[in-house]
C-alpha cells in the first residue's frame, strides 16, 4: 500500500479475448499512464480454457496476453506502468511461466509477477456441496446436483482486494483468474490510496469507474448509437480514469486520439449489462449507479463525483459451465429474384428430406434464419419494404443425441444442385456436431473461498 499520490491514471486496453492488441499498445505509447488493465474473460471463455488445459496442462490461459507483454515490455518498464490482467484463466501459473520467459528473453530482471488464485472451484465442488452449498441456478432455482456430472468449469468472481495485495507486495505484473471486470481497475485504487474494506463510497466509486472502462472503447465512441458523429473511428482512444484519493474521477483518453468522451458516450456504457442500477452488486461493495453526478469539464473529460455505496454481500457469484448437448449450424447464400421465397423453400426442403430419412426435430430444436430479411430486428421494418436481392439462409439443430445432430449437416450442401436456382456461398465443409456449453450462475458463501497471492521475481 502506498499513500503518496493524490491522483493516478488507470486505463483499460482490452474489452474481451479477441479485442485489438493495438488498444494496449497505443495506451502505453500515446501518453502518461500508471496502470494498464486488461480484461480477457467471459463466461464461455472459462469453459474453453478448461477444455484446453485438460488436453495440455500448460494451456488454459489467454496466450494473447503473453504476446502483448512481449510487445509493450520496453515501454512498460521505461514508464513504470503496472499491468493487471485476468489472462490467467484457469491456469494462471502457466500464464506466469510464459510471461517469465518473455522477461528472460528481453533480459529484464527484478520485475515482480504476481499470481492471484482461489477463484477456480472445479476441484472443490463436491466438498463444497457436501458442506451445504447447493449452487442454485440464479435464473431457474434448480440445484447444481441436476447437472453436476456435466460441469466443465466453476469459478468464483473474486474482488479487488487480492489485486491490491499483489501490488502491495511489489508486483509490476498481476495475473488473475476469474474476478469482476471492475475489480481490475479498483485494485490499484485500493493499493494506492489505502481504501479499506468498509470504505463503501470510495469502493463504489472505483467500481463505477471500472464498469465505465471495462469494455474498452465502448465509452469513447465504439458501438455508439450516433456513430456518424464519432471522429476517426479507426483510431478510437482507449479510456483512461484519472482517479483521486476521495474517489472522484475523470473519464478521458489520450490527446490526439480518435473517438469522443462526453456524457452521452459514458452513459451508453454505464447502461451496459445493468440490472438494478441502485444495487450494482460486486464482491467488494454494492454501488448505487443513481447516486452520482457527471459533468463535462472540458473536451473529452467527464468528471464523476458523489458515488454512494452499500455494504458488500456475504456471497460470491459463481460462474459455471456444463455440457448441454450438441448443435450443428450451417449457412448458404440465396441470390437473385425471389431470394427470400427461395430461401424459405430451401429450409422446407432440408427438413422434409431429413424427415424422410427418419430424422425429425421439434421447433425448439431447430434454427431457421433469413439474414438480410430483417432477422436481427424482426418486426421493426416498415410495411412494404422491398425484398432483398440476396439472403443468407442459416439453418441449425440442437439436442442431446450427437448422431441425430450430425445427420443434419449432410442435407445442406445438396441444395446447391437440388434446390431452387441461385444457391451459392457454401464453404468450409459440412456443418459438424459441436458441444453446447450451458451457463450456470449461482451464489456461495464467501468464507468458503480462500484467495492466494504469490509473487515471483524475474
DSSP per-residue string spanning 65-82? HHHHHHHHHHHHHHHT-E
What are residue 37's DSSP bridge partners?
Answer: 12, 84
How many other CB atoms are found less than 10 A from the CB of residue 263? 13
The grid coordinates listed for 177 are 483468474
Asked whether 359 and 404 are in contact (CB, 8 A), the reply is yes
Nearest-5° Cα angle at 352, 350 to 357: 100
Where does the pLDDT of residue 383 fall: very low under 50, low under 70, confident under 90, or very high at 90 and above?
low
pTM: 0.91
**What pLDDT shows up at residue 380?**
64
Where does the pLDDT of residue 54 fall: very low under 50, low under 70, confident under 90, or very high at 90 and above?
confident
The grid coordinates listed for 336 are 437473385
Q: Give the chain's end-to-end CA distance (angstroms, integer).
A: 22
Q: How would CATH label the architecture of 323-439?
A: 2-Layer Sandwich (3.30)
Tens of pLDDT, residue by residue over 393-435, are 999 999 999 999 999 999 999 999 999 999 998 777 789 999 9
The grid coordinates listed for 1 are 500500500
In sequence order, the 6+-apart residues with CB closer than 8 A to the CB of 127 are none
Tens of pLDDT, residue by residue over 255-270, are 999 999 999 999 999 9
**What pLDDT shows up at residue 273?**
84
In sequence order, the 6+-apart residues with CB closer than 8 A to the CB of 33 are 9, 11, 27, 79, 81, 240
What are residue 393's DSSP bridge partners?
Answer: 332, 370
**What pLDDT shows up at residue 427?**
73
Q: Is 223 helix (H, G, I), strand (E, B) or coil?
A: coil
Q: Is 348 helix (H, G, I), strand (E, B) or coil?
A: helix
**What pLDDT shows up at residue 303?**
98
What gap in Å lies between CA 291 and CA 379, rounded to an integer? 36
What gap in Å lies between CA 378 and CA 145, rounded to an integer? 38
Residue 288 has pLDDT above 80, yes or no: yes
Domain ranges of the chain: 7-119+157-313, 323-439
- Kindly report the average pLDDT of the chain as a whole number: 94
Residue entry with cell 459455471? 320
Q: Within its chain, how far is the Cα of 387 from the centroid?
A: 36
Asked whether 194 and 200 are in contact (CB, 8 A), the reply is no
The grid coordinates listed for 32 are 502518461
**What pLDDT shows up at residue 379?**
66
Asked whether 160 and 180 are in contact (CB, 8 A), the reply is yes
Strands 82-85, 35-38: parallel, antiparallel or unpaired by DSSP? parallel
Amino acid at each position: 500500500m502506498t499513500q503518496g499520490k493524490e491522483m493516478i491514471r488507470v486505463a483499460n486496453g482490452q474489452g474481451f479475448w479477441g479485442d485489438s492488441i493495438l488498444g494496449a499498445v497505443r495506451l502505453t505509447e500515446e501518453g502518461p499512464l500508471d496502470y494498464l488493465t486488461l480484461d480477457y474473460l467471459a463466461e464461455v471463455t472459462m469453459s474453453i480454457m478448461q477444455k484446453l488445459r485438460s488436453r495440455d496442462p500448460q494451456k488454459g490461459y489467454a496466450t494473447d496476453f503473453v504476446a502483448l507483454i512481449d510487445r509493450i515490455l520496453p515501454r512498460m518498464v521505461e514508464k513504470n506502468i503496472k499491468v493487471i490482467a485476468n489472462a490467467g484463466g484457469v491456469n494462471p501459473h502457466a500464464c506466469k511461466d510464459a510471461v517469465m520467459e518473455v522477461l528472460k528473453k528481453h533480459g529484464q530482471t527484478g520485475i515482480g509477477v504476481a499470481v492471484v488464485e482461489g477463484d477456480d472451484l472445479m476441484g472443490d465442488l463436491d466438498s463444497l456441496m457436501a458442506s451445504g452449498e447447493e449452487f442454485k441456478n440464479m435464473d431457474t432455482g434448480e440445484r447444481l446436483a441436476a447437472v453436476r456430472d456435466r460441469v466443465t468449469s466453476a469459478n468464483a468472481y473474486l474482488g479487488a482486494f487480492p489485486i491490491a495485495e499483489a501490488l502491495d507486495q511489489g508486483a509490476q505484473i498481476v495475473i488473475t483468474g476469474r474476478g469482476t471486470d471492475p475489480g481490475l481497475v479498483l485494485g490499484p485504487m485500493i493499493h494506492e490510496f489505502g481504501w479499506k474494506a468498509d470504505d463503501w463510497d470510495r469502493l463504489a466509486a472505483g467500481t463505477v469507474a471500472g464498469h465505465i472502462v471495462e469494455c474498452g472503447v465502448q465509452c469513447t465512441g465504439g458501438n455508439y448509437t450516433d456513430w456518424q458523429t464519432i471522429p476517426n473511428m479507426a483510431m478510437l482512444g482507449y479510456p483512461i480514469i484519472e482517479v483521486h484519493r476521495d474517489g472522484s474521477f475523470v473519464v478521458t483518453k489520450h490527446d490526439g486520439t480518435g473517438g469522443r468522451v462526453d456524457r452521452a458516450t459514458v452513459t451508453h456504457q454505464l447502461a451496459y449489462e445493468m440490472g438494478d442500477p441502485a444495487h450494482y452488486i460486486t464482491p467488494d461493495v454494492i454501488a448505487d449507479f443513481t447516486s452520482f453526478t457527471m459533468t463535462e469539464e472540458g473536451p473529452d473529460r467527464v468528471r464523476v463525483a458523489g458515488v454512494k455505496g452499500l455494504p458488500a454481500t456475504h456471497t460470491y457469484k459463481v460462474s459455471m459451465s456444463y455440457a448441454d448437448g450438441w448443435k450443428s449450424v450451417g449457412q448458404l447464400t440465396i441470390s437473385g429474384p425471389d431470394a427470400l421465397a427461395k430461401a424459405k423453400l430451401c429450409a422446407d426442403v432440408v427438413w422434409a428430406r431429413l424427415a424422410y430419412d427418419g430424422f425429425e426435430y421439434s421447433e425448439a430444436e431447430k434454427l431457421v434464419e433469413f439474414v438480410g430479411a430483417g432477422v436481427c430486428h424482426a418486426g421493426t421494418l416498415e410495411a412494404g419494404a422491398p425484398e432483398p436481392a440476396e439472403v443468407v439462409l442459416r439453418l441449425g439443430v440442437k439436442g442431446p443425441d450427437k448422431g441425430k445432430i450430425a445427420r443434419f449437416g449432410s442435407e445442406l450442401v445438396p441444395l446447391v444442385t437440388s434446390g431452387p436456382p441461385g444457391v451459392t456461398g457454401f464453404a468450409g465443409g459440412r456443418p459438424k456436431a459441436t458441444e453446447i456449453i450451458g451457463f450456470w450462475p449461482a451464489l456461495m458463501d464467501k468464507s468458503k473461498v480462500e484467495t492466494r497471492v504469490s509473487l515471483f521475481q524475474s
